[in-house]
Amino acid sequence: MKILHFFKCYYPDSVGGVEQVICQLAEGGRVHDVAAEVLTLSKRGATRNQPYAHHLTHTSKQDLYFASTGLSLSVFKDFRELASQADIVHYHFPWPFMDLVHFGTRCKKPTVVTYHSDIVKQKLLLQLYKPLLHRFMHSVDHIVATSPNYMVTSPILHRYQHKTSIIPIGLDRAAYPPSDIARREYWQQHLGERFFLFVGAIRYYKGLHILVEAMRGVDLPVVIMGAGPLEDELCQQAAKMGLNNIHFLGQLPDEDKFALLELSYGIVFPSHLRSEAFGISLLEGAMYGKPLISSEIGTGTTYINIHQETGLVVPPSDPIALRDAMLSLWHDPISAQRYGQNAKQRYEKLFTADLMTDQYVKLYRSLLDNTHDAIKQ
């Protein structure tokens, strides 16, 4: 079976949650005799049959980038060619231009779309896009939501429940090897024995300004690993407040991330907007057996983190509630340890890469079986 994944960006040009999901599906499918290829856009221009890990990638030249949407003229021809060689086309939403390519090439292959997120920021453009969006959702054969929480709270998905299933994002524990002892000792010396950790891109919906505000008047050590457009603004916010307990580490190699995850006391994940559709960094904390703190925003974050079971869940945009939750865990290590153990067990039960891949392979086979039955009739 051959799958073509189609999304606006991919490794090595771009690193993010959707890219990680595509990669894990492409790699994990190999044990099921599923060969995956990826088509994406790139400023570097067109490429063909470029290996990444154990699968092939293709790029079309990105001609324009507008409102978080890459555009390309050549991708219509490239997609038509690659889709004709695939058994199933796997779309990853949102990317409005993808819908145009789907209809412009008159794709006739079985199709599945993973619905990673609602469109949250571009509210005006969303109103213009909605007719095309619904036409696209109506036309695809199957939709996958990444959590039941998102399925219930998304106004778009609510209309297509009859052909939507839930397949949570999973992580491969083997891709997170034990950290180097010297690296772990280095961070322990610089950061101390206990600290709260945030890992992720520093974007508008991550709520890190709320985390900084929450540290007013308390001396809890907080480590922020990641880079993004708001990094300087956050550093200035902390400096103006005279905070010296927040450590901004910037972007670091995976080896450092592994060490920080091992050393951390708990994971704090203050994302406050629905643009945070799942929270892979939060799931990483669960995989490492850490207690979790997150906000209730009606998305997958509260599918990963169950209040008073795997950690604590607070109202969004509430620095006082966030501070109280952090203090509660800090002063109650027995509960923190119990939450961490529960988080790890929940990861092993629901969120492994093998489980995610198995469910997608079953879906692929079901789509092919339905197609073959339709042809016979």
Q: How many domains does one find in the chain?
A: 2
Q: What is the pLDDT of residue 210?
A: 97
Q: Looking at the structure, do residues 366 and 343 belong to the same domain, yes or no?
A: no
Q: Looking at the structure, do residues 102 and 120 belong to the same domain, yes or no?
A: yes
Q: Looking at the structure, do residues 139 and 288 belong to the same domain, yes or no?
A: no
Short-list 147, 162, 48, 120, CA closest to 275: 120
**117 to 1, 27, 132, 147, 276: CA distances (angstroms):** 27, 23, 17, 11, 8
Q: Looking at the structure, do residues 250 and 143 belong to the same domain, yes or no?
A: no
Q: Looking at the structure, do residues 111 and 223 belong to the same domain, yes or no?
A: no
Which pair of tokens denotes residue 223? Answer: 């480590």
Residues in Cβ contact with 191 at an 8 Å cutoff, skipping those fewer than 6 apart:
221, 223, 247, 263
Q: Looking at the structure, do residues 186 and 318 belong to the same domain, yes or no?
A: yes
Residues in Cβ contact with 287 at an 8 Å cutoff, skipping those fewer than 6 apart:
171, 173, 176, 344, 347, 351
Q: Looking at the structure, do residues 157 and 211 belong to the same domain, yes or no?
A: no
Residues in Cβ contact with 211 at an 8 Å cutoff, skipping those fewer than 6 apart:
198, 222, 224, 268, 270, 319, 322
Q: Looking at the structure, do residues 7 and 141 belong to the same domain, yes or no?
A: yes
Show the domain range for 269. 173-350
Residue 377 burial (CB count, 10 A): 5
Q: Looking at the structure, do residues 120 and 155 belong to the same domain, yes or no?
A: yes
**339 to 265, 300, 311, 318, 347: CA distances (angstroms):** 11, 18, 5, 22, 12
Q: Is the previous residue joined to 94 through a cis bond, with omega within 30 degrees of 0?
A: yes
Q: Looking at the structure, do residues 129 and 158 belong to the same domain, yes or no?
A: yes
Q: Write out residues in the chain with pLDDT < 70, as ranges.
A: 372-377
Q: Looking at the structure, do residues 258 and 343 belong to the same domain, yes or no?
A: yes
What is the pTM (predicted TM-score) of this model? Answer: 0.91
Which pair of tokens denotes residue 71? Answer: 């555009």
Q: Looking at the structure, do residues 221 and 164 belong to the same domain, yes or no?
A: no
Rounded Cα distance between 288 and 284, Å, is: 6
Short-list 113, 203, 207, 106, CA closest to 156: 113
pLDDT (tens digit, 9 = 90+) per residue, 90-139? 999 999 999 999 999 999 999 999 999 988 777 777 888 899 999 999 99
Residue 339's CATH number: 3.40.50.2000
